[in-house]
Amino acid sequence: MSGYERSRELLARARKSLAGGVSSDVRVSMKPFPLYFERGEGALLYDADGNAYIDYALGQGPLILGHSPPAVLEAVDEAMRRGQIFAGQHELEIEAAEAVVELVPCAGLVRFSLSGSEAVHAAVRLARAGTGRTKLLRFEGHYHGWFDGVLVGPDDDGGAAPLSQGQSPGAVGEVIVLPWNDLDALESAFARHGEELAAVIMEPVMCNTAVVPPGDGYLEGVRAYCDRYGALLILDEVITGFRLAPGGAQERFGVTADLATYGKALAGGFPNSAVAGRADLMERLGQSVNHSGTFNSNVISMAATVATLRELTRDGNAAYRKIERTGTALMDGLREIGARLGIPLLIQGFPPAFYLGFTEAESFENAADYAARADVERYGRFAVAMLERGVRVLERGLWYVSAAHDDEHVARTLEAAEDALRQVFNA
């Protein structure tokens, strides 16, 4: 390991021209400080100082086939040489749409944007248009992008509060925030606001906080309340989509949304996102509901999507089987090390996306559990100790696994983890 000197110099230079030194706020919190990277290949990531890492950040999720997957790069390279955007249509966007409609349970029709935030924006607009209602119910600890109408958390007296300065109070005022995984809380919210609710939006697995799975019957319960009160169910599958299964969480849990949003893994590392849903709702696009974008369905994004979905599903979904195997071996191995060293660690979630954290709790069921009982400070030190041993994990405990990770990466990761855990727990 050669330290982070080059990264340090680059960050100092960046701060003179790039606001905050980074291009996405999430990256400010990288430990030991925002590092610079030069190259990624398969499961490996290389930084500006020449350090190599087995990567479980995977670009915050998109790299489900690993870095620089050859089949995707070739498809993009071939397609982009014939043009980039046409202010018009091209056949690849139909192929991409057909692939999504075939895989996604709720997808009667689909529309593409570039980021997950935009897909959520389109879904919420469609829900308001489709119901003629305005209120949106969301949950503490879930993340739906950085736009005004969804970047909202609970305030101290049961209301909703903006999470950034500069948000429109009007947009925030339409939002109700509840604890997740709590059908009683949902029942009373529906009793009070059910007739005004355009939609309930949630991550089907709370990947953005401790990868909390839905409790038994919870998704079905939410679906039933939505149906009873005429509100729509929006599942935000930006993380779970094309990751937990070819048809995402809807396939894995057998619950169907009215509208669902996708991004990240959809295009294997290239920018693409989608809103998909019931045809009677989606048909409003292009008529009474506006959704636009200069770069929507650009050639690169569409070629990447078609190639990514083809790679993921080839040989009877072999990529998914491999990810399940690798992720399971990692989860089991980390648990075994924790038990052997007597370290209170919690692992929960699913092999393609799981949570590792330090806590005496047996599980986290919601965001309040996590806030009260996760030792976030010590996990930050663990993430740095892992970097020093050639493994990159996200500071918030979310581990992504790709089809490029294999048994040897797992073995090396477990060795690094044991050593790093001994260091941060003095075990």
Exactly one of 143, 320, 379, 400 is catalytic; name it: 143
Beta strands in 229-360 (DSSP E): 232-236, 259-262, 273-277, 345-350, 353-358
* CB of residue 335 to ligand PMP, shortest distance in Å: 25
Task: Single out the residue of 236, 365, 369, 418 in contact with ligand PMP (rule: CB under 6 A).
Answer: 236
- What binding mask, one character per residue, do residues 137-166 give for ligand PMP by CB under 6 A, x or -? ------xxx---------------------
Give the nearer residue to ligand PMP in terms of CB position, either 35 or 353: 353
Q: Which is nearer to ligand PMP, 34 or 390 (CB)?
A: 34
Q: Please name every residue paired with 391 in a beta bridge, in sequence order, or none if there are none.
A: 54
Considering only the stretches 233-241, 248-256, 290-298, 387-395, report the one whose residues sit in contact with ligand PMP under the rule CB under 6 A: 233-241
State in angstroms the smallest separation of the CB of 58 from ligand PMP.
12
- Options 140, 203, 365, 418; binder of ligand PMP; rule CB under 6 A: 203
SS3 108: coil
Q: Is residue 229 flagged as an active site residue?
A: no
Please report the sign of the dihedral spanned by the C-alpha atoms of residue 48, residue 52, residue 56, residue 61. positive
Stretch that binds ligand PMP, among 97-105, 235-243, 245-253, 353-361 (CB under 6 A): 235-243
Return the number of the residue (60 or 317) whose C-beta is nearest ligand PMP. 60
All residues at 6 or more sequence positions from 226 whose CB lies less than 8 Å from its CB, including other chains: 199, 200, 232, 233, 258
Q: How many residues bind ligand PMP (CB under 6 A)?
A: 14
Residue selected from 79, 198, 219, 239 as contacting ligand PMP according to rule CB under 6 A: 239
- Both ends of the chain: CA-CA distance in Å? 24
Q: Which tokens go with 383?
A: 């993430």
Task: Return the amino acid letter for 46.
Answer: Y
Respond yes or no: is residue 264 known to be catalytic: yes
Q: Which of 218, 239, 196 is nearest to 352 (CA)?
A: 239
As a whole number of angstroms, the distance between CA 351 and CA 325 comes to 8
**Catalytic option among 264, 320, 355, 400:** 264
Interface of this chain with ligand PMP, residues 36 to 75, rule: CB under 6 A: 60
Known active-site residue 375 = no
Question: Which residues within the stretch 101-120 sit at the binding site for ligand PMP (CB under 6 A)?
Answer: 115-117, 120
Binds ligand PMP (CB under 6 A): choice among 263, 333, 352, 397: 263
DSSP 306: H
The per-residue DSSP string of 153-185 comes to EE-TTSSEEESSTT--HHHHHTEEEE-SS-HHH
Region for residue 218 given its phi and psi (left: phi exceeds 0; alpha: psi -120 to 50; beta: otherwise): alpha
The Cα–Cα gap between 369 and 357 comes to: 12
The residues, ordered by sequence, that sit 6+ positions from 14 with a Cβ below 8 Å of its Cβ are 21, 22
Which one of 170-178, 236-244, 373-381, 397-405 is the stretch in contact with ligand PMP (CB under 6 A)? 236-244
For ligand PMP, the closer of residues 232 and 239 by Cβ is: 239
Strand order across the beta sheet in which 345-350 lies: 345-350, 353-358, 398-400
Active site residues: 143, 236, 264
For binding to ligand PMP (CB under 6 A), which residues are involved?
60, 115-117, 120, 143-145, 203, 208, 236, 238-239, 263
